[in-house]
Structure 1
Amino acid sequence: MEQNISVGLDIGTTKIVAMIGRKNDYGKVEILGIGKSKSLGVHRGVVNNITQTIQSIQLAIQEAEVAASEKIDGVTVGIAGQHIRSLQHSDYITRSNAETVINEDDIDRLINQVHKLVMLPGEEIIHVLPQEYKIDGQAEITEPIGMYGGRLEANFHVVVGQVTSIRNIARCVQTADIELEGITLEPLASANAVLSQEEREAGVALIDIGGGTTDLAIFKDGIIRHTAVIPFGGNVITEDIKEGCSIIEKQAELLKVKFGSAWPGENKENEIVSIPGLRGRDPKEITLKNLSKIIHARVVEIIEQVYVEIKNYGHEEQKKILIAGIVLTGGGSQLKHLKQLVEYITGMDTRIGYPNEHLAGDSDDAVTSPLFATAVGLVMDGLERQERKRVEALEEDVDQSTQVVNETPDFTEAVSENQLEEEQEIEVNPTTPKKERRSFIENFTSRIKDFLDNAE
């Protein structure tokens, strides 16, 4: 696999998608190939059958490899599921010397302190996302590095998940002979793919309606403020149609996709669709009005649960109001009249989120569907990680070459005393930028890998 190519693996409840992409000359993401397979062994975002999940992953990977004529070695995997929850937490550290400027080590010490929070049995912290900092009581500081102060505190958005569920996903990927390059929370991946920077600044709620779960991510002032996973998605609607109309699941799914609507008022009583009977039985006649009533009832329930989470964040407070409203994405967002129903229930501006802003102009229409928002976001995440590694490698090379020059004795004789003093000052100056620290999620990924390697 080429170095500048990234692969996103979206392990969903209804489908598994492997997407291969790279950055083109204009900085946009060019999709080289997609592989899709029916997701077997995953229920509401959680693996409940390892063997079936591995087979589904391998099918999706093989299809993507054929489409892109590339060999896949490593992937960035999305995690979601009903075991994910989030909480707000404030913490602080007291610095030993307030006369020196705050550096990355201080931030690391503060973040590491958050990891000492006591979680429920089996849970582990996945993401620690700083909201804003406070230095010696001065609030609303977004970047504390380089400032003076004795007490450094911050508000954090902490995302927590069942570590066994995440290890199971990692195990499936590794057993399918693919390297796990990174793990990302799926609502964050979808947000990267469909939201603009202006929306994040203004305040926006991203609702990703998948097969088994509905993921929510709220942004305000460019920072993620709240995440939640609601354990209902498109599958529950299909299940309701199956029960309500006494038909098989395959027919219920087709009915939902072809004739389904979230707004029952638009269908007339005499609009009827005929479903073939099983094994020579008489066909079933279903009115579209009844179909929309079944869909409407369940969709309202899902939206109301999401709206409770939006209100929990504090959307009704003047300072926290989400000016950009709601963005719907995921396969479930393609349901007819869903946008209008969401606007009616929440009173917030709503649009459907397509992952086309970051994609190359000649991308296939299928790729720009909301169905693939998470996969596009995972590809972007993988490309960003590669870019960071390249920058770090360059910085290390520069550091080493600088060291070699400093150690060469011939140069020091020709250098004036003033220049030597300046060099020494640069070396001890605490504000000299260090290479970018690894994010916690990268450390978390390597810990998961180590655990699986040792388990072998």
Structure 2
Amino acid sequence: MATSVGESVVVGLDIGSTKVCAVAGRLVRNNKNQETLEVLGVGRTRMNDGVAKGSVVNVNNAVSAIHQVIDEVASQINMPIDRVNVSFNGSHVVSVKSTGNITRSSAGDEIQKEDIDHLLNDMYRTAIPADKEIIHVLPMDFTVDSEVNIDQPVGRNGVKLGADFQIITAQANAARNVRKCVVRNELTLDTMMLSVLASGLSVLTEEEKYAGVALIDIGGGTTQMAIYYRNVLRHVAVFPWAGNSLTSDIQLGCKIMPEQAEQLKKKFGSAVPADFNLNQVVAVPGLSNKKPKDVLIKNVAIIIEDRLREIAAMVQAEILRSGYEGKLLGGLVLTGGTAMISGIEPIFGRVTGAEEVRVGYPEHLEPNGRADLVGDPAYATAVGLVWAGYKTLDRRISFISDPVRAKYNERPTVERRPTPEPVVEKPEQMLPPEPERPQGEGFFDRLLKTLFPPKGSPTDTYE
């Protein structure tokens, strides 16, 4: 019997190119005293023309899809949902390495977490183009004075604190669109996290991240890669080819409609052409008044294999560029919906030369019916976003997003000047009557007349 660790329920919202899904869960402790995630609710709907290459391009369509899945989850957990952790993606996402440092005022005192927060805040103010936005600033190795390659600087003495950082940026409009989608559903955004980093929280082990591992998240619109080494994120890359590219290739190669190509990929998708004979054919319905078209399943497998080889080659080139070739003892972990294609692991192993390749499934889930629903690589990001409510990407830092921007409210506001109070004219009969006064004679007139009476007045006769 699992026991709850606190009462908080966390909701992860994954806005993908082909689907929007939400997962609600809470942290529990199982009978072995291990912390696991109890899945309480799951919602999923297809994304139609709302997201392209990982970026929200039609806010209205995305808002509608989010509303549907949030309502579905809220009805399952029997409570309103007002806060979410949301994924962020896009082929425009770029990771650059940068260095920053601060000079501390008290050299004799040990470095505190507040000093690291100060350094992080400075890095979020790094000058970037106006159309870009900094999504994450994540430290790699710290320096204290002349000492380098420090994993944890807190507790050390020194004047100058610095670090090498991964600065992850994206198009500002794309980030703004994600916030709009959340706010227009009357939700509060707790954390916005790059999808592959969220997936890592649900499918990677601490041992893999320490030994060195490349996580490859192959979604619908993009393939994302994150390299971990010594428990620290070292490299991030995003490629604009993924599951939808396979669908497009099948459509063009077999000369069929996109919907039919997607169905072929899901039902018969395999990257091992040798598994099929030349007489294995699928009849695909034709257009109106057209006869069905026969498609060789072997041809579909050849097309899928070729595209996956190209994606694997891009991954290998990026590993070489990162400088971690030969250091990834944990090998490759493939996740995302496309990772379920049969034969994908051998392809990535052959192309990249990695000895260890596995498909990553969400782990440490408390067994129940809903856990079975999300125990699929396609839900790795959504489950990871729930985990983000209970554990951090980097134990050394207090926040992974700009604290100033986290408080920013995207609700449309219009600056208005204060409206003056309306003046209501009362009827004359309701006004108090004014005292009667001689016309043209005020108080000072009467006072002067008393002190200096005019000649011929009654007062003058007593002089």
Residue type at the aligned position of 1:138? E
Which residue pairs with 2:450 in the alignment?
none
Q: Are the counterparts in 2 of residues 35 and 67 from structure 1 also a CA contact under 8 Å?
A: no
TM-score of the two chains, using structure 1 as the length reference: 0.83
Partner SS, residue 401 of structure 2 = helix
Which residue pairs with 1:146 in the alignment?
155
Q: Are the counterparts in 1 of residues 12 and 22 from structure 2 also a CA contact under 8 Å?
A: yes
Q: In structure 2, what is the Cα distance between the partners aligned to 1:379 and 1:116?
A: 28
**TM superposition shift of 1:454:** 4.5
Would the alpha carbon gap of residues 6 and 112 (structure 1) be closer, same or farther in structure 2, given more than 3 Å must change?
A: closer
Which residue pairs with 2:224 in the alignment?
215
Partner SS, residue 253 of structure 1 = helix
1:382 paired to 2:355 = no
Stretch moving more, 51-60 or 110-119: 110-119
Which residue pairs with 1:102 in the alignment?
111
User: Cα RMSD over matched residues?
Assistant: 2.1
Aligned positions, number: 401
Q: Are the counterparts in 2 of residues 80 and 186 from structure 1 also a CA contact under 8 Å?
A: yes
Partner SS, residue 16 of structure 1 = strand
**TM superposition shift of 1:367:** 1.4
Partner SS, residue 88 of structure 1 = strand
1:371 paired to 2:378 = yes
Partner SS, residue 154 of structure 1 = strand
Q: Deviations over 1:38-73 (max 9, x none)?
A: 112111111111111111111111222233333222
Q: Deviations over 1:304-351 (max 9, x none)?
A: 1122221111122x6xx1000000011010111011111111111100
Q: In structure 1, what is the Cα distance between the partners aligned to 2:67 and 2:191?
A: 18
The unaligned stretches of length 5 or more in structure 2 are: 1-5, 416-463
Equivalent positions of 1:266-415 (< 5 A) are 266-316=275-325, 321-348=327-354, 349-355=356-362, 357-362=363-368, 364-384=371-391
- Percentage identity across paired residues of the two chains: 39
Would the alpha carbon gap of residues 175 and 274 (structure 1) be closer, same or farther in structure 2, given more than 3 Å must change?
A: same
Aligned partner (choices 178, 203, 210) of residue 201 of structure 1: 210
TM-score of the two chains, using structure 2 as the length reference: 0.82
Which residue pairs with 1:241 in the alignment?
250
Q: Are the counterparts in 2 of residues 204 and 322 from structure 1 also a CA contact under 8 Å?
A: yes
Greater radius of gyration (CA): 2
Aligned partner (choices 397, 406, 411) of residue 446 of structure 1: 406
**TM superposition shift of 1:227:** 1.0
Q: Are the counterparts in 2 of residues 126 and 444 from structure 1 also a CA contact under 8 Å?
A: no
Partner SS, residue 450 of structure 1 = coil
Partner SS, residue 372 of structure 2 = coil
Which residue pairs with 1:64 in the alignment?
73
Would the alpha carbon gap of residues 178 and 35 (structure 1) be closer, same or farther in structure 2, given more than 3 Å must change?
A: same
Q: Are the counterparts in 1 of residues 116 and 397 from structure 2 also a CA contact under 8 Å?
A: no
Partner SS, residue 383 of structure 2 = helix
Q: Deviations over 1:246-269 (max 9, x none)?
A: 211221111111112123333322
Would the alpha carbon gap of residues 79 and 322 (structure 1) be closer, same or farther in structure 2, given more than 3 Å must change?
A: same
**TM superposition shift of 1:360:** 0.6
The unaligned stretches of length 5 or more in structure 1 are: 389-435
Residue type at the aligned position of 1:378? L
Equivalent positions of 1:130-145 (< 5 A) are 130-145=139-154
Q: Are the counterparts in 2 of residues 47 and 165 from structure 1 also a CA contact under 8 Å?
A: yes
Q: Which has the higher helix share?
A: 1
